Amino acid sequence: MIKTNDLNKVYQTDEVETTALHQVNIEIKQGEFVSVMGPSGCGKSTLLNVLGMIDGPTSGEYLFNGEEIGHLSERKRSEIRKHNLGFVFQSFNLIDELTVFENVELPMLYTKVPSGERKKRVEELLEGMNIMHRRNHFPQQLSGGQQQRVAVARAIVNRPKLILADEPTGNLDSSNGDEVMKILSELNAEGTTVLMVTHSQYCAEFGNRIIRMLDGQVVTENVVKQYL
């Protein structure tokens, strides 16, 4: 599903040039659950941005489903992104002005899903996440765990092929964290590919494979479970 060849990302400011990714070569197959670990500043989030098509690489190749997309325009990347990817962030990134229902519904507005279908899908997901009773609440009225469940629901509502999660349990206590990891595992079990950045060894082990990064480079890759 994902393949990178010598992927580089360099941030250039007036005074300094920072290499965030250096010659990264990874491959992720459909149905995998891959965790990315490494110390702060090692390039984990940059890798997630590039693979999530919200930032382009400076050089190198990025193949998504066999198509080179690393150097496509923002508009084309956005088009591929909204139909194929779902995002879960550490800080949830829900829109404060929208209710739980509206937040989950939002991605479908951009993919032009008909209204009846949108309602059906949102309700199914909220039921599944056990937050249906909170559908008309605003994000600030929810606990952290509930907010992250909403964020996950929003990430999968368009039925993406790949979920990118950036420290999804970073702001949660252990029981809520477990809850989220359980949902991600279930989604993976249903066939969705998951790429997750985390600091937590515990969470990382929910994946099939752990990629470790240091100074913008992939240093090791460990298989945690046998990929089925």
Partner 1 sequence: MFKNYFKVAFRNLAKNRFFTLLNLLGLALGISVSLALILFVSDELSFDKYHTHAENIHRVGVIAEYDDTREKWATAPNIAGPTFKDQMPEVVEQVRFLRHGFGETAFLRVGEDNFLEPDLYWVDSTLFDVFDISLIQGDPQKALNEPNEVILSQSAAKTMFGEADPMGKSLFVDNDLELQITGIYEDFPPNSTLDAKVMGSFYSMKWATERLVWSNCSFETFLRLHPETDASDLDAKTNAILQESVKEEDRWFSMWTQPLLDVHLHSVGINDVGYSSSLGDIAQVRILGVLALSILLLACFNYINMTTARSRQRFREVGINKTLGASSGQMAIRFFLETGILVAASFIAGLLLLRMGTPYFESLTGRPLMYSKLASLPWMGALIGLWGLITFGAGLYPALMLSSFAPKNLLQPANKGFTGRQFFRHALVALQFVVCMALIVGALVFNRQLQYISKKKLGFEPEQVVAINTFAAEETSQIEGLMRTYESRPDVLSLCRAQGYPGIGVSGYSMTKPGQDNIVTEVNSNHVTPGFETVLGLKFLAGTTLPEKQPEDTTVQVVMNKTGVEFLGWTPEEAIGKSPPNMYRDPTTIVGVVEDFHFESLHNPIKTYVFNNGNNFGWTPYLLVKLQAADLQATVAGLEDSFNGHLPKSAFELVFVDDHTARLYESEQRLSRIVWIFTILAIIISCLGLFGLAAFTAERRTKEIGIRKVLGASTEGLVGLLAKEFLRPVIIAVLIASPLAWMGMRTWLDNFAYRIDLNWMFFLIAGLLATLIAFLTVSFQSFRAARANPADSLRNE
Residue 166 touching partner 1 (CB under 8 A): yes
Cα 72 from Cα 222, distance rounded (Å):
31
Which residue in the set 33, 64, 87, 101 belongs to the binding site for partner 1 (CB under 8 A)?
Answer: 87
Residues in 35-64 that interact with partner 1 by CB under 8 A: 45, 48-49, 52, 54-55
Which amino acid is it at 160? P
DSSP strand pairing (85-88 vs 162-166)? parallel
Q: Tell the smallest beta-carbon distance from residue 225 to partner 1 (Å).
A: 28
Select 166 or 179, whichever has its Cβ closest to partner 1. 166
For residue 162, what are the β-bridge partners? Answer: 85, 193
Select 52 or 216, whichever has its Cβ closest to partner 1. 52
Select 109 or 219, whichever has its Cβ closest to partner 1. 109
Cα 95 from Cα 175, distance rounded (Å):
24
Cβ-Cβ contacts under 8 Å for 182 (sequence gap 6 or more) = none
Select 113 or 224, whichever has its Cβ closest to partner 1. 113
Select 22 or 83, whichever has its Cβ closest to partner 1. 83
Give the C-alpha distances (Å, rounded to integers) separating 166 from 26, 34, 138, 171: 18, 12, 22, 11
Cα 25 from Cα 154, distance rounded (Å):
30
Q: Contact region for partner 1 (CB under 8 A) — 28-36, 64-72, 109-117, 119-127? A: 109-117
Cβ-Cβ contacts under 8 Å for 110 (sequence gap 6 or more) = 82
Q: Contact region for partner 1 (CB under 8 A) — 61-69, 96-104, 121-129, 176-184? A: 96-104
Binding site for partner 1 (CB under 8 A): 45, 48-49, 52, 54-55, 74-75, 78, 81-83, 87, 89, 93-98, 102, 105-107, 109-111, 154, 166
